[in-house]
Every structure is written in C-alpha cells, then in structure tokens.
Amino acid sequence: MKYILLMTGKKVGVESYLAWSQKDRNAHMAVLRRIAKELTASGEFVATQGLAGPQEAKVVLGEKGGMPVTDGVFPESKEFLLGYWIVDVATPERACAIAGRISAAPGPGGMPTNVPIEVRGFASYPEPES
C-alpha cells in the first residue's frame, strides 16, 4: 500500500526554521537522511521531494487572453507544503510509524520538532474501456 507523508508549515514556521543554527539544521537533515536510507534498505522507499520556500509560491487561476492569471498573495494562515515522502508499506500503521519518526527529527537544541505529518493514501481511477 502506497502512502504519502506530507510535511506542511506556515510562512512564519519556515522563517523560524531559517533562523536555526547550522549545527541544528545539520543534525535535523542527518536524521532525515538516515530515515530515507533505512526506508531504501527495507524496500519501502518510493520518492521524496523538498519544495522551494513559500515566498516564491504562485497560484494560477485560469487564463486571460491565452496568458495564465497568476497571484502571489496568500493568507497568513496558509499551510504550505514543505516536502513529502512516498512510501510503500504493508499497513497504514507502518506509514504512521514512519511519519512519527520524521516528526521526531531533532530541531533547535536537539529537541524533537514534533511537526505534524499528514498521512494520505492514493486515489485509484478505473482504466478507460478500450
């Protein structure tokens, strides 16, 4: 069963992350790297991706005269996707356990960030009739 683990945050959360010391950031990334390596070794890893900062985010709303209508203004409350992991696991509980490990990755001073991780399954669409 494939699941996607979504890490989200507000602009203010991203700003506080950018204020972390280099040492704290390295420790955080080291744990994420170890988790990804373990998932690869166990055959559960499918994909991971980190997104660029929310300050560069745009929203596209249709088009006008053949050109896309873009906007870069978001409410303060907007939850931006920061990154995701796709895992292929035996049970939903295992997907949640992996999400728990990512949530426990260390933040400033080595304390777990406890950042919430959203766990979702994938949609299935019927194949077109041939």
Min CB(20)–another protein separation in Å: 16
Does residue 63 belong to the site contacting another protein (CB under 8 A)? yes
**Is residue 22 exposed (0-12), middle (13-18) or buried (19+ Cβ within 10 Å)?**
exposed
Does residue 14 belong to the site contacting another protein (CB under 8 A)? no
Euclidean distance between CA atoms 18 and 7, whole angstroms = 16
Neighbours of 121 (CB within 10 A): 11
Q: Which residues are near another protein by CB under 8 A?
A: 4-6, 29, 32-33, 36-37, 40, 45, 47-52, 54, 56-63, 67-70, 77-81, 83, 86, 92, 96-97, 99-101, 103-104, 112, 114-123, 125, 128
